[in-house]
Homo-oligomer: A and B are copies of this chain.
Amino acid sequence: MVKDLDEKTEALPDHVGWRLWQASRAWQAEFAAAMRTAGHGWFTEARAGLLGHIPRGGIRQAALIERSAISKQAVQQLLDGLEAEGVVQRLPDPRDGRGKLVGYTRKGLDALRDGDRIKLQIEHGYVERIGQQRFSALMDALRTLHTEQADAGDEEAGVQ
């Protein structure tokens, strides 16, 4: 079963899933590194996933739970961390005594601005590496894929 190995290593996978995963990981690593360099050391992948669902104008925590499609306890814990870092703040909802409004602090808005700038820089680097035509084709394919996917079975996670 085991013969002459480590003489010749087997090739790495080369299917869509692996390529997408690699590209996604690379992008995230580049983004996170740039964010840390920009002084946002609190930035992590999990927090980014949540922040992407918090509009600049704020959002009710319950709505955030629905949008982010993770358990409300996970959202709770992530918000606890972000609040402790001073990135977001939770204020009572004046229209519903049960609710909380999640909004950005000055520090959070600064981070968003830096994030937008970094995204553009990374995108620019991609265009330089693979050319505008390939890049446009990439975005077109990804967008189309996403649209056709949403049209089919909708995979909203059933939150508790």
| Residues of A in contact with B (beta carbons under 8 Å apart) | 1-3, 5-6, 9-10, 12-24, 26-29, 31, 52-53, 55-60, 63, 67, 91, 101, 103, 119, 122-123, 126, 129-130, 134-135, 137-146, 148-149, 152, 155
Alpha-carbon gap, A139 to B31, bound state (A): 22
Complex contact B16–A123 (CB within 8 A): yes
Complex contact B52–A9 (CB within 8 A): no
The complex is assembled from copies of this chain, and their number is 2
Nearest B-chain residue to A153, judged by Cβ: B30
Complex contact B23–A142 (CB within 8 A): yes
Besides the known contacts A6-B63, A141-B141, 20 further A-B residue pairs in the complex with CB atoms under 8 A apart: A2-B57, A6-B60, A9-B67, A15-B119, A16-B135, A16-B138, A16-B139, A16-B142, A17-B31, A19-B146, A23-B24, A23-B142, A26-B149, A29-B155, A126-B145, A129-B144, A129-B152, A130-B141, A134-B137, A138-B142
Complex contact A103–B16 (CB within 8 A): no
Complex contact A24–B24 (CB within 8 A): yes
